[in-house]
Structure 1
Amino acid sequence: MLAPRRFWVAGTKEYLAVGEDLIQSQCIIVYSYRLLLHPLRSYPGPFLAKISDWYGAYNAYRRRIPTITYRDHLTYGPVVRHGPNKLVFNSIQAMRDILQNERLFKSSAYLVTQASPTTFNLFNVMDKHLHRTRRRMIGQGLTEGAVHRFEPVFQDHIVVFLQHHLEASLQDHAVDMSQRCGWLTMDVSGELGFGRGFGLQTDPSSRYVSMMNRRINVYLQFPAIKHTGWEKLLLLILLPKVRRFHRFLSGLIQSRVSQDKNARPDLFSSVSEYKDPETGKGLTRTEIWSEAAFLIPAGGDTVASLLSGVFFYLSRYPRVYERLAAEIRATFVGAEDIKHGPKLSGCNYLRGCLDESLRISPPTGTTLWRDLPLDANANPVIVDGHVIPPGTSLGVNIYAVHHNEAYFASPFDYKPERWLPDESGLTDEQTATMHSAFMAFSKGSRNCAGTAFAYTEASLVVAKTLWYFDFEKYGEDAASAESGRPAVFHMDDQVGSSHAGPMLVFRRRGDAWKVLESQHGPGGL
């Protein structure tokens, strides 16, 4: 007869063995169904993606969803099964059918970004009516008039940005543009959202602020992982950082609320008293601050990535650099003349440079997912000729579409001229097709509300930099060319993007730079 302890151990092993067998049997049943009987079984795709969302989660953790999706389209075709219940498409027609379809809903996966179950922002709100209402309200702070009111803030922070370049040029130091552009645009986004920047350009102790999150990117691909409770294992590491950031935001909010609502040209001043004409309601303070917190990564990361990409490509394409510098220096009579308005918006080659960088290296190159509800049985939903089964998640990947040779010839070549109708060599139909395929700021009702702000900020930074300085690449930095292809600025996808470089060396241009010595931005140097 077994002793009690030996009997318990033997029983436990037997119990665990039975449990393992049960789990194995369940997995075999589930995986067999997904491979052989599932409504999406006939669609091609990677084997792991057909049976599990771990395929997306793994590649999200590796921060390579855009490039993997592009590769999978080359391997499997224009429609790829990217999860047991997921199809990703690579065509303009699919983009329209998915992103402009009222019967599809933004994927419930985006709910993983909620700070609390009752708090929504433009990024994660599912309800279409609530989204339209919130979009109209927030839009009051992002109109063309708001851009004009906010321009002095742009200009102040750009002065600090340029003064750092001046200091680097005097000391013969190379500049990491990903760092510098990130500090600039996060400070600007802080001003837009909370009426005060983070001081990242001038205060090294503030540079712990970061809104990019690899964990969230993984959850977006496989939401069930968030609910396993694994984060408790990292509580001692994560909690101090979360609390520190929340205290920081609370301080910004309290500081802003203590001022008159019109004290700063920020979101609070634009929307605090606005009443939606349809509902007659305004935003609560909590809702305003939720949107303000969303604007920080949405604005800061997007423009920082755009600027880093533009500076990378200008430093690698001398012909483009020379033409853009000539356009800027011929259009304006002085640095003070470089401001938001007809002259700046009339710099067509500058806009072509921005758009071409957004195309090749989109700040968000991820897949935009939409859900077809399980109860959507009344009329079939058709995407690019495919009848979609209810319960399917549908997506188009920005990076893959932007590199589709059917829409963009030589997709890895940096050619700003392709955006200039008189020089592109394209027919009107081809030009229209190209513009339809461009989706750096998404498409449809969920497109980026801050597009005008992004273009204005980026245009001002690039134009003023080329007015005061010349620059060139410094050695072979981390953002080097991909093997066998033209130089490409690489971005790692993580609910936005992570990138390094380019490393640039700045040279003062004539006497224009001397004006910077007498100018002062927020915090000075």
Structure 2
Amino acid sequence: MDILSGKPISGLMGTSWARDALIDSFQPTDFSLASILRLSMTVALAITSYQLVYNLYFHPLARYPGPFLARASVTIYGNRTTADPNSPAPKNEWYDMLGAGFGERCLVSERDFRKAGDKRALFSNAFTQKALLKQETIMQRCIDGFVAKVGKLGSGPNGIDMVRWYEMISFDIFGELAFGESFGCIEREAPHYWLEMILDHLLVVQIMDNLRRYPFLVAIARVLPVKWTTGLARKQTQYSRDKTKERLEKGTDRQDFMARVVSKVKAGEIAEEEMVAHASTLVMAGGETTSTSMAAITFNLLKTPATMQRLKEEIRSRYKSLEEIDILSTGQIPYLQAVLKEGMRLYTAGPQGLPRKSPGMTVDGHYVPEGVELYVSRWAAAHDERYFHDPMAFKPERWIDANCKDTKEASQPFSLGPRVCIGRSFAYAQMSLELSKLVWSYDMELVKPDMDFEDESRMYFQWRKPALPIRFQPRPG
């Protein structure tokens, strides 16, 4: 099976060396266990050898550069891509798995380019600067509760796991703005069970995406107990339906992401199931990515005391009280914004990149046949020394130094083009408020100063992160 195209390999038995090897290793009257094992090994070796030779020299993508193993497996490790980001390459089957369980597609899982544009238009007013300022009261209330809790619970010698607490505040905020109420994680001081379900669901989506490339594994998955395969998705989608019904009852007066969608559902212009898919995806995508970025940013600040000290001075000299910190003013602090950008460059949420299917296009001077799956690894691009000097180092100054020659466009944590993340401004606002209020209120330190957060993480479509215990002490004075 051709790994990328999915087309069966033909002509194997037509090669004389493979045929002779099979004849020599197996005689029709010899049915001993040893002969069967010998035959199996010979067939496996023949197929593997054929596939390697084909991939290295005859595959349509063989001309692309890369390490030997990558080229032999047709995992192309290219130098750069030159495809126009505004030229639509259709989404692939991965998005079907992301949207599995819903009767309608949402703005992320919709693969049709025109329909995806129509779905994005539903939220065109929800993520504007004007809408963001209307939503600020909700965001501020959630973050103030979060800041108070981490200071109270994180003052002990063991601190608290900020990976979990950043997840909890993000999901509380997105619960408020997508479903009309918080999940109550911060108030209960514990994750909501749906949060756990969503994080596990994202991992299952990635595993199933890999399995679909091997038909015999798909066949095995179909006979496994439902609770091991689609059961998690069913629970997750059903909870989304229940929460959506509650949000519909709240009407359209509430200033949140879903106000316009609610009015469309009530007018019969879109199906309620589409609203379910939209709301669930906003919580899942926004909650996980923002919390991941905040954990990495905080870790890198604490590992580089000079950057943390500069940020403290910027924040504490600008604001006389916690109440003064707001969206507009934090967006105008260059060093704070540089810290956010550098943190997302080093530890990009969604490091693998978003998969697409080639419509038949030229990339870096080479034609990529129709149907081939492709993506740009955000992590690889953002750590390439051709684009960033000292790429493994946390240097926020690179974003505000006029003399820095780094190709900053190579870091695209929110993607780019017509499908750029619709919540980009919201994410910056949330992270700016959270980080500013924490830095203004507390001195923080790593409980495990020698830990390497990225090295202890595991990269799938999203990161599987280690615990990040941090100790909080009230600021002096």
| C-alpha separation in 2, matches of 1:471 and 1:26 | 57
- 1:59-458 equivalences under 5 Å are 81-82=74-75, 87-91=76-80, 94=81, 96-97=82-83, 99-102=85-88, 104-116=89-101, 119-203=104-188, 204=190, 206-207=192-193, 209-210=195-196, 211-212=198-199, 213-221=202-210, 223-225=212-214, 227-230=218-221, 232-237=223-228, 241-262=232-253, 264-273=254-263, 282-341=269-328, 343-373=329-359, 376=360, 381-422=361-402, 425-426=403-404, 430=405, 434-458=407-431
Match of 2:10 in 1: none
Structure 1 residue 174 displacement after superposition: 0.6
Judging changes above 3 Å, is the alpha-carbon distance between structure 1 residues 407 and 27 closer, same or farther for their aligned structure 2 residues?
closer
Q: State the secondary structure of the residue aligned to 2:354.
A: strand
Q: 1:228 to 1:20 in 2, by over 3 A?
A: farther
Deviation at 1:287, TM superposition (A): 1.4
2:473 corresponds in structure 1 to 507
Check whether the contact 1:89–1:397 (CA below 8 A) recurs between aligned residues: no
Please report how far the alpha carbon of residue 348 of structure 1 lies from its aligned counterpart in structure 2 after TM superposition: 0.7
Query: What percentage of residue pairs aligned between the two structures are identical?
Result: 24
> What letter matches 2:61 in structure 1?
L
For residues 86-124 of structure 1, the C-alpha deviation after alignment (integer angstroms, 9 at most, x for no partner) is x45343xx1x5153323x222333322222485222222
Which amino acid letter does the alignment assign opposite residue 468 of structure 2? Answer: P
CA distance change for structure 1 residues 138 and 220 in 2, over 3 Å: closer, same or farther?
farther
Letter in 1 for 2:470: L
Alpha-carbon separation, structure 1, partners of 2:65 and 2:424: 35
Q: Deviations over 1:399-423 (max 9, x none)?
A: 000011111000011111000034x
Alpha carbons 1:90, 1:401 under 8 Å: kept: no
How far off its partner does 1:235 sit?
2.5
The count of aligned residue pairs is 440
C-alpha change, 1:114 and 1:369, in structure 2 (3 Å) is same
What SS is found at the alignment partner of 1:273?
helix
Give the aligned residue type for 1:382: T
**Equivalent residue letter for 2:353:** T
Cα 1:459–1:282, aligned 2, differ >3 Å: closer, same or farther? Answer: farther
Q: Secondary structure at the match of 1:505?
A: strand
For 1:238 and 1:387, the matched residues in 2 are separated by 37
Q: Judge conservation of contact 2:142–2:169 (CA < 8 Å) in 1.
A: yes
Distance apart, 1:132 and its partner CA: 1.3
Q: Is the 8 A contact 1:109 1:221 kept in 2?
A: no
Distance 1:232 1:47 in 2: 37
Give yes or no for contact 2:446–2:470 (8 Å, CA) kept in 1. Answer: yes
Take 1:47 and 1:166, find their aligned partners in 2: how far apart are those partners?
A: 51
- Equivalent residues of 1:402, 1:408 under 8 A apart: yes
State the distance in 1 between where 2:344 and 2:417 align: 18
2:27 aligns to what?
none
Code of the residue aligned with 1:154 in structure 2: it is M
Structure 1 residue identity aligned to 2:236: F
Retained in 1: the 8 A contact 2:92–2:355? yes
- Deviation, structure 1 residue 450: 0.4
Q: Check conservation: 1:315, 1:472, Cα contact below 8 A.
A: yes
Equivalent position SS for 1:366:
coil
1:59 aligns to what? none
TM-score by structure 2 length?
0.82
Residue 171 and residue 20 in structure 1: after superposition, are their counterparts in 2 closer, same or farther (change >3 A)? closer
1:320 CA drift (Å): 0.6
Aligned residue for 1:105, secondary structure, equals coil
The answer as to whether partners of 1:404 and 1:411 remain within 8 angstroms in 2 is yes
Q: Which amino acid aligns with 1:41?
A: A
**Does the CA-based 8 Å contact 2:52-2:72 persist in structure 1?**
yes
Q: What secondary structure does 1:209 align onto?
A: helix
CA drift at 1:447: 1.2
Report the AA paired with residue 109 of structure 1: W
The unaligned stretches of length 5 or more in structure 2 are: 1-30
1:391 Cα offset (Å): 3.3
1:308–1:409 CA distance, 2 compared to 1 (3 A) = same
Shift of 1:306: 1.1
Cα contact 2:65–2:77 (8 A) shared by 1: no
Work out the CA distance in 2 between the residues paired with 1:253 and 1:112. 21
Q: In structure 2, do the counterparts of structure 1 residues 205 and 112 end up closer, same or farther at CA, with 3 Å as the change threshold? A: closer
CA distance in 2, matches of 1:214, 1:227: 17
Deviation of 1:387 (Å):
2.9
Q: Is the 8 A contact 2:354 2:376 kept in 1?
A: yes
Contact 2:168 2:191 in 1 (8 A): no
User: Cα RMSD over matched residues?
Assistant: 3.3
Kept in 1, the 8 Å contact 2:240–2:276? The answer is no
Q: Determine helix, strand or coil for the equivalent of 2:445.
A: strand
CA distance in 2, matches of 1:144, 1:469: 29
- Measured against aligned partners, the alpha-carbon deviations of 1:135-174 in whole angstroms (never above 9, x if no partner) come to 1222322221221121112112112211222212554541
Contact 1:141–1:271 (Cα < 8 Å) also in 2: no
Runs of 5+ consecutive residues of structure 1 not aligned to the other structure: 1-9, 53-80, 482-487, 512-525
Counterpart contact for 1:90–1:397, Cα < 8 Å: no
SS of aligned partner of 1:193: helix
Higher relative contact order (CA 8 A, sep 6+): 1
- What's the offset of the Cα at 1:489? 6.9
1:37 aligns with: 58
CA shift, 1:268, in A, is 2.1
Give, as a single letter, the amino acid of the residue that structure 2 aligns with 1:224: R
Match of 1:497 in 2: 463
Q: Identify the residue that residue 446 of structure 2 maps to in structure 1.
A: 473
TM-fit CA distance, 1:219: 3.4
